[in-house]
Structure 1
Amino acid sequence: MLPATRTANPTATTTIYLEIDDDRSSARTLIGTPEGGHMMWLYGSEEEITGSLLDHELAHVVLASRFGDAMPIWANEGIASRYDNERRKTIRQQKLAGFVAIESWPHLDRLLESEIRQQWQYAAAESLTDFLIERGGRQKFVEFVADSRGSVERALAAHYGIRSVSQLEHQWRAAVRKQVSRQQRPVAATIAGEPRYVR
């Protein structure tokens, strides 16, 4: 969660508060405190707070050193979510499968402008980030994100040859359908290969 506009500060210090708690898993980072640094709170198992939770929140800090809080929230969370643990990634894969199963998709024009708070929003943001990185690499994605503050559609055309958010949405949905289909095929093959008993 990022506060009001802050500029990039690559030399800002980050203060980390942590609490080992096997029954809790949460984290928060405040970018740009009044003193000019960042603050991070981590609650979880020792494995999580030294692993995926820390990695996710550090991604926000690193991105703040490059963008301040000028980076669109969907891209910021999309990148940070790539460092999450398998449990969270599995939940998001289930959300993507749900989009496909009932043909109920988030509208990208809204996602690109909204806060990211719900798991389906994290799922869509991470998936869209992965889609664009796979299409052009990390550097191109960072350049696109920087340029998208002026106009998303202009940045899409310049960096990916995509004419509109609508065209991006169409291509992204097609990629998610393929991904979900690939993931479900081994399960279906296993079920089909199981022995059948006749009584």
Structure 2
Amino acid sequence: MMNTAVNEQLQLYGELNGALPVLVAIVIAIIVVAAQAWRHTVRPQTAAQVAMILYVGVLVGITLFPVNLYSPSNVMSKLPFGLQGPYINVNLADIRNYTPVQVYGNVLLFMPLGFLAGLISKKYAQFAPNLALIVGTTLMIEAAQFIMCYFYLGNRTTDVVDLVTNTLGGIAGFLVLKLVQWLIPHAVARVQE
């Protein structure tokens, strides 16, 4: 009876912990806005910073959570690490097996990174630093997914298709930024001050 209750609590935790990064991001965003409002220094860049904080919370929530936790009585807690595989896919041709929602979802998921990073910082408004940020971020996520899968904390596969589609999404976001910068340069410059 006790094991059932513990397993139910852990299952509920597993379902709820995907929202944790989003909630943390919201709290941080509120603190940033409140601090600047208290100092009477709310700037246009604050909105972009808050959007980036919220975006990072959503990105972490979607790509890394939920984290699986198992009770000591669960068979998963008794297995040696690394048996869950395969947890790496390096075959780019597997993109044919992906649904359009998966491919376009990855592209859309990383568009805000390319856009917001360049909007907040003049450094990331340049292609090379923006691309490095995008590729570095997706590599960190894929590495974290690999480690989590190896230790049974997650059930995601490290995938070269994700790396490519995430990078394309970030580049698309950067191109949207450049379009906005071309159409209304004064607005972008004001945010980057």
When normalised by structure 1's length, the TM-score is 0.28
Relative contact order (C-alpha < 8 Å, sep 6+): which is higher? 2
Q: Report the structure, 1 or 2, having the larger strand content.
A: 1
Higher helix share: 2
